[in-house]
Amino acid sequence: MTQSLTPMKLISMTCELSVAQRAINLLQSMGVKSVRTSAVRVEEFGNETSVDLHESQLKIEFLVRPEMVSAILEHLQKMFFNHFDVGFYVSDAQVLRPEIFCEMGNAKA
* pLDDT tens profile 31-90: 999 999 999 877 767 666 555 555 678 999 999 999 999 999 999 999 988 888 888 999
In a domain, 14, yes or no: yes
pLDDT(1) > 80: no
Note the pTM of the prediction, 2 decimals.
Answer: 0.80
In a domain, 41, yes or no: yes
Q: Within a 13 Å sphere around the CA of 33, how many CA atoms are in the beta-carbon half?
A: 10
Q: What is the CATH number of the domain that holds 54?
A: 3.30.70.120
In a domain, 109, yes or no: no
Coil, helix or strand at residue 71:
helix
What is the greatest pairwise CA distance in the chain?
57
pLDDT(105) > 90: no
Taking alpha carbons only, the member of 102, 105, 81 closest to residue 93 is 102
In a domain, 88, yes or no: yes
Q: Report which of residues 81 and 28 the model is more confident about.
A: 28
In a domain, 35, yes or no: yes
In a domain, 106, yes or no: no
pLDDT at 107: 43
In a domain, 79, yes or no: yes
Taking alpha carbons only, the member of 12, 4, 32 closest to residue 96 is 4
In a domain, 40, yes or no: yes
pLDDT at 109: 35
Q: How many domains does one find in the chain?
A: 1
User: Which residues constitute the domain of residue 91?
Assistant: 6-98
